[in-house]
Each structure stands twice: as C-alpha cells, then as structure tokens.
A = this chain, B = another copy of it.
Amino acid sequence: METVPESHRYLLDAQFATLATVGPDGRPQLSEVWFLVLEAGVGISLSTARQKTKNLLRRPECSLLILDVANPFKYLELRGDAEIEPDDDFAFAERVGAKYGADLRAYDAPEDKRVVVRIRPVRVNAVDMGG
C-alpha cells in the first residue's frame, strides 16, 4: 500500500476499521471490523452469516475508514472492491485472531463459514481536518 502517505501510515497499525458496504436497499451499512494489512491492501475475516458479507457478495464496492481514535481529525479512507475467497479451514480467521489474541469463531454459530475479504484500494484519502 505504497499509496498511503507517510503522514498516515501509522494508522495501518490501528486495531479497528469501519467497513461500509451497500445493502440490498441501496443504503450504506457500517460496522467495525478487525483487519490485517496485506501486501496489496487490507484483509478482513467475515462470517458468511453476516449481512455485510452478503452485501459484498452482491456488490463488492466498499470503503474502509481507519480513524485515529486519539485524534479523530485524522483518518484514512480506502476505497476498493472486495475480493472474496472461502476460508473453509479457517486459516485466515486464525491469522486475524492471532493479531488480536482472540478466537474469531467464538463470534460465529457452529455452522457458519468464513471468507477472506481482500480490499485493494483503488483510491486512498488521507485526511487531516485539524491540519
């Protein structure tokens, strides 16, 4: 993610990001997600039972905002299309869980599957409204 300017690169170490998807009614939907920084973007582990996952399968256009929670004037917005792959052995969920010291499947029902959602930004907005 060489497109993220130096001034905002520390935000890639943040713990949470806000993911925006578009629902079947055309309305954006927001939720907080955990993420991993990958070579060419950001990776998220999602349960297929979640509405945001269904939204992305139908409409991959999405956006991710990483806020500086200590200074909310500063944030990074990454816009891109979700590339979705099965994570049937939960290998990626475990990678994300290792970052957070958490078991992601504890949030799921036993029958839920997980997918890897990769977002390669097509546009990066590095904002500092306090500047």
Oligomer copy total: 2
Residue pair A75, B28 in contact (C-beta under 8 Å):
no
| Contact status of A77 and B26, CB under 8 A, knowing A15-B72, A18-B18, A72-B69 | no
Q: Taking the complex as formed, is A114 at the interface, i.e. its CB lies under 8 A from any CB of chain B? A: no
As a 0/1 sequence over residues 57 to 69 of chain A, the CB contacts with chain B under 8 angstroms (1 = contact) are: 0010111110101
What's the interface size class on A, roughly? 20 to 34
**The one of B21, B75, B129 that contacts A107, using a Cβ cutoff of 8 Å:** B129
Which A residues have a C-beta under 8 Å from some C-beta of B? 15-16, 18, 20-22, 25-32, 59, 61-65, 67, 69-70, 72-73, 75, 77, 79, 107, 127, 129
